[in-house]
Amino acid sequence: MSAGPLTSSPHGHQGHSVRQLMLHVLLACVPGTAALVFFFGHGVLFNLVSLVLFALLFEALVLWIRQRPVLPALHDLSAIVTAVLLALALPPTAPWWLCIIAIFFAVVIGKHLYGGLGYNPFNPAMVGYAAVLVAFPVQMTRWLLPQGATTALPGLGEAITIFADGELLQGIDAFTGATALDSFREQQGAQLVSEFLQASPLMGQWSGLGWEWINVGFLFGGLYLLYKRIISWHIPAAVLLALAVFALLFHDSGSSASHGSPLMHLFGGATMIGAFFIATDPVTAATTKHGKLLYGALIGLLIYVIRAFGSYPDGVAFAVLLGNIAAPLIDTFTRPRTVGHAK
Amino acid sequence: MSSASSPVYDFPGGIYPPENKSKSLRGPIRTTALPPQLWVAVTQPGFAMPLLCVQAGEHVDKGQLLARGSDSAGLLVHAPAAGLISSITEHAIPNASNLPELCVVIDTDAADSNWHKLLPLDWRDAAPDLLVERIAAAGICGLGGGGFPTHQKLHAALQQVDTVILNAAECEPFITADEALLREHAADVVTGCLILLQITGANQCLIGIEDNKPAAIAALRQHCTDGRLRVVIIPARYPSGAERQLIQTLTGKEIPSGSLPVHSGILCHNAGTARAIARAVVYGEQLLSRITTLTGAALLEPGNVEVLIGTPVDFLLQQAGVDQQQLSRLFCGGPLMGIELPHAQLPVTKTTNCIIATTQRELPRPPPMQACIRCGLCADVCPVQLLPQQLYWFARSSELEKAEAYHLHDCIECGACAYVCPSHIPLVQYYRSAKADIRDAHARQQRADHAKQRFEVHQQRVALEHAQESRRRTERAALAQPALPAAGNNTSAQDVVAAALARIQAKKAAQASAPTVGKDEPA
């Protein structure tokens, strides 16, 4: 017999761990990330690598300062997931210092100042994104023109120069511009939707050029997470449904005042990564079944409102953060009926 | 007739752990050799003290009464084999608290002696009271794990229930005692069901059994010729065999929180208990043995054994060929609700349905717990629809009132939540601890209320006595000095006051004129 303290039941375990959940999330990011790299080039990879490295560094540093065990926390991969999701949200032209500031806000302020994994009320990746979006609007709204638009993507050398300091690169304006969602909003009132779609080099088949495929990639990843039961269907379904319903209500059949078709919104911007990867962050989401539906619907609605009536390039980050605020209240009011109790 | 199309209802949540049942079902039920010593626990329900009927040094026959409860609610304990009582002492038994219980230690006779059985009864003509009395006399308690005296449960159910449920679900992994029992002794179990119907006057008996036990189902069907018996096959899912979940599966009824199934007209008994009832009534046999599963990767010969109550676990393990090198931990009961045993020097009790001797690989020690990431997997599998992660926060921060408001007391401690928790948080342990704290707080509150009540009564009594005393005093005073002039009284009182005032003034004047010595005035 092995010596050791007696444990109380249950003695068996399914065998899942936080690390495995996080690994599945990382794996599920692959198709979307591949599409993002294809359409926007090396900059995405620079973001990914630098954010992961600095996320681990900041995580270790804060844990050391907080006198908590460092290795088990790094082992759970949650910092890497935060870094990856944030890296995929940053523009591929982001310079190195922007990356560091963003991940600092995400890991140190968004996560550890609130007590670390499990205690943070706000999605850390979105805290980091919102902080740099508000502080550095110029760098944050300057996206590359996607592969297949008028110009070619910058080469590796140019991408390195952009990452080192974008301002130094001659002719950077030739590569950069607004995102499809942004330019769509800006043209409002000027021309019919169909005219804009034909004229703009940024638009693809149903949504932004490239973005539609990136969203398909993240949709596949999300379906994988559903299949593996890493996430439940409630939040993504509610986000997408609410977004589609409001887009349909205000679609305006393609006049110049239209805010875009449901298809454009579903496959535009950060919709799919937001619905399947960001809104489903369990720590900051509602946890009851009905609560998840409400929470998802609230985020879907907010994404639409911010995209259609706001002035930011996309609405996912702020929608998720606002949803995070509401999550505890939603949980309180959507408690399931305990078996054996009247409602 | 047993029908294949009995309706089955759903209950929320549940898990599908690996069954690990086949290796203990390879052979028939074995009877173990007579152990040299038996440690028979005489534990009574609740915290009642047992009344011993024998003393150390006495020789007992098989079936002789060893101990009983202080009233009719108690549980009779009989000698499982003939032998000499070498001592009556506290001994460790398999229980969650790890506290020793009073045990009668019997050095068994080498030769098996006569069994002093009770008289067989013809149950078809017997009155319910007589049958319940017989069940009490045979010392039968719930063999599924609860261990509650069966006659007590039946007393409450007399003329109260319309449905008897026989729990043959056996949903927990590793355990096959009931399945083996049904394969070989289905006739006894069915007789037990009929006796339960006779006692309660219920009009149907639903036998709930999981669909992963085809041989047991076939045996049951073969013997279920009475139209009131129905074998209901339920989907295998843990914890389908928990009492309230089984009732929900078979009848669609939810037993209201805080009330017992009998209040909803349902009586639930375990298959092993039904067999014990049949043996007690039809053959007059006291409950001296039970079927226990011996399993786990550290055993060379796993299987089900008919084992005498009080048999030491290490004796059983030796019989089943334990590999001491491989053995890492011992469990009593299943891996989800069972208890870990500190060592093998413990006796089998009436509720020991399974002994698992595991290797490190089979049931590894839990890794260190990590932070809750609120993933909600626990809430998805909770069969009572609690919010386990909220309860965990409340338990952790000792917010007992909130834990109560979130229905902590409805937790059946099935362990499904902890089984799926990716952070390996021992959730059930937190709930047990919080429940104990709540019980403590309630007990303290009750004591405090009681003390306050006593104090208030005391105060009232003192006040009353005081009032009476002062009334008597004034009456006595009035009698002693009947004719004191009122005016004279007043004058003397005024004089005293004037004199006191004069004294105070003189004192003040003396203080004011005294020089202030020893005080350093700031410059």
Residues A189-245 have pLDDT tens digits of 666 666 666 666 666 666 677 888 899 999 999 999 999 988 999 999 999 999 999
Window B:251-290, CB contacts with A under 8 Å: 254-258
A8 and B372: CB-CB below 8 Å? no
For residue A216, the number of C-alpha atoms closer than 13 Å in the C-beta half-sphere is 11
- Judged against a pLDDT cut of 90, whether residue B167 lies above it is answered with yes
* 8 A C-beta contact, residue B275 and residue B146: no
Contacts of A106 (CB under 8 A, 6+ apart): A55, A82, A83, A86, A124, A125, A127, A128, A129
- Closest among A41, A61, A68, A51 to A128, alpha carbons compared: A51
Task: Specify the residue for token string 């053995």.
Answer: B327
What residue spans define the domains of chain A? 17-177
Phi-psi region of B15 (alpha: psi -120 to 50; beta: other; left: phi over 0): beta
Locate B440 and state its tokens: 């403590």
On whether both B250 and B141 belong to a single domain, the answer is: yes
Identify all chain A residues contacting B98, using CB atoms and an 8 Å cutoff: 6
At residue B1, does pLDDT exceed 50? no
More confident residue, A5 or A10: A10
Q: CA-CA distance, B122 to A336, in Å (whole number)?
A: 51
Q: HEC states along A1-21? A: CCCCCCCCCCCCCCCCCHHHH
- B335 contacts A11? CB cut-off 8 A: yes
A256 with A287: CB under 8 angstroms?
Answer: no
CB of A119 less than 8 A from some CB of B: yes
In angstroms, the separation between the Cα of residue A59 and the nearest Cα of chain B is 15
Taking the Cβ of residue B12 and every Cβ of chain A, the question of whether any pair is shorter than 8 Å is answered with yes
By C-alpha distance, which of A262, A258, A282 is closest to A271?
Answer: A262
pLDDT of residue B517: 47
d(CA A128, CA A107): 8
CB contact A117 to B (< 8 Å): yes
d(CA A210, CA A219): 14
B315 shares its domain with B383: no
B158 and B290 within one domain: yes
Averaged pLDDT, B461-469: 93
Report helix, strand or coil for B36.
coil
DSSP bridge partners of B204: B163
How confident is the model at residue A260, as a pLDDT? 78
> What pLDDT digit, counting tens, does each position of B193-250 carry?
999 999 999 999 999 999 999 999 999 999 988 889 999 999 999 999 999 999 999 9
CA gap B404, B398 in Å, rounded: 11
* pLDDT > 70 in chain A, percent: 85
Nearest-Cα residue of chain A relative to residue B415: A10
Among candidates B426, B245, B502, B377, which has minimal Cα distance to A10?
B426
Higher pLDDT, A194 or B487: A194
User: Residue B361 burial (CB < 10 Å; 0-12/13-18/19+)?
Assistant: exposed
Looking at the complex, report in whole angstroms how far the Cα of residue A172 sits from the nearest Cα belonging to chain B: 42
User: Alpha carbon of A308 to those of A133, A239, A305: distances in Å?
Assistant: 18, 16, 5
The owner of tokens 């996607």 is A146
> Closest Cα to residue B108, out of B199, B184, B38, B166?
B38
Residues 422-451 of B with CB under 8 A from A: 422-424, 426, 428-429, 432
On chain A, the residues whose CB falls within 8 A of the CB of B363 are: 11-12
ipTM: 0.85
State the count of interchain CB pairs (< 8 A) between A and B: 149
Q: B269 phi and psi, to 5 degrees?
A: -135, 155
Which residues lie across from B65 on neighbouring strands? Answer: B78
Question: For position B298, what pLDDT does the model report?
Answer: 93
Provide the chain A residues 237-276 that lie in CB contact (below 8 A) with chain B.
Answer: none
Domain presence at residue B508: no
Of A1, A117, A339, the CB nearest to B328: A1
What tokens were used for A343?
């409602």
Which among A21, A117, A335 has the least Cβ separation from residue B371?
A: A117
Residues A204 and A148: their CA atoms lie apart, in Å, by 10
Comparing B440 with A188, which gets the higher pLDDT? B440
* A2, A13, A289 member nearest B424 (Cβ): A13
**Domain of residue B218, CATH code:** 3.40.50.11540
> Closest residue of A to B420, CA-based?
A14
What are the structure tokens assigned to A208, written together? Answer: 């932004």
| Chain B closest-CA separation from residue A261 CA (Å) | 33
Q: Which of residues 324-343 of A touch B (CB under 8 A)?
A: 331, 335-341
The answer to whether residue B134 is domain-embedded is: yes
Q: What average pLDDT is seen over chain B?
A: 89
- Contact with chain B for residue A66, Cβ under 8 A: no
- Judged by average pLDDT, the poorest of A94-108, A159-173, A254-268 is A159-173
Residue B261 in any domain: the answer is yes
Residues B391, B385: Cα–Cα separation, whole Å: 12
In angstroms, the separation between the Cα of residue A276 and the nearest Cα of chain B is 14
Angle, vertex CA A118, rays to CA A113 and CA A124, nearest 5: 55
Closest among A195, A198, A285, A280 to A236, alpha carbons compared: A280
Which parts of B379-427 are beta strand (E)?
A: none
- How far apart are the C-alpha atoms of A16 and A13, rounded to whole Å? 8
Contact B188, B275 (CB under 8 A): yes
Residues B247, B268: contact at Cβ < 8 Å?
yes
| A263 vs B289: which has the higher pLDDT | B289
| Residue A165 DSSP class | H
Q: In terms of Cα–Cα distance, which of A77, A171, A182, A87 is closest to A125?
A: A87
The total domain count for chain B is 2
- B423 within a domain of the structure (yes/no): yes
Any CB–CB contact under 8 A between A72 and chain B? yes
Query: What 3-state DSSP class applies to B342?
Result: coil
Neighbours of A34 (CB within 10 A): 14
Contacts of A336 in chain B (CB under 8 A): 379, 385, 387
Instruction: Quote the pLDDT of residue B519.
Output: 45
Q: Cβ distance B182 to B78 under 8 Å?
A: no
Give the confidence band of B507 by pLDDT, cuts at 50, 70, 90: confident
Q: Are residues B400 and B309 in the same domain?
A: no
What is the span of the domain harbouring residue B423? 370-465
Query: Any bridge partners for residue B340, and if so which?
Result: B331
Euclidean distance between CA atoms B334 and B353, whole angstroms: 8
Q: Contact, A238 vs A296, CB < 8 A?
A: yes
Does residue B175 belong to the interface with chain A, where contact is any CB pair within 8 Å? no
Arithmetic mean of pLDDT, A120-124: 94
**What's the pLDDT score for residue A149?**
66
Report CB contact under 8 Å: A9, B370.
no
Candidates A6, A13, A281: best to mutate against B (most CBs of B within 10 A) is A13
Pick the last residue of a domain from B417, B443, B465. B465
For the purposes of burial, counting CB atoms within 10 Å of the CB of B107, is it exposed (0-12), middle (13-18) or buried (19 or more)?
Answer: middle
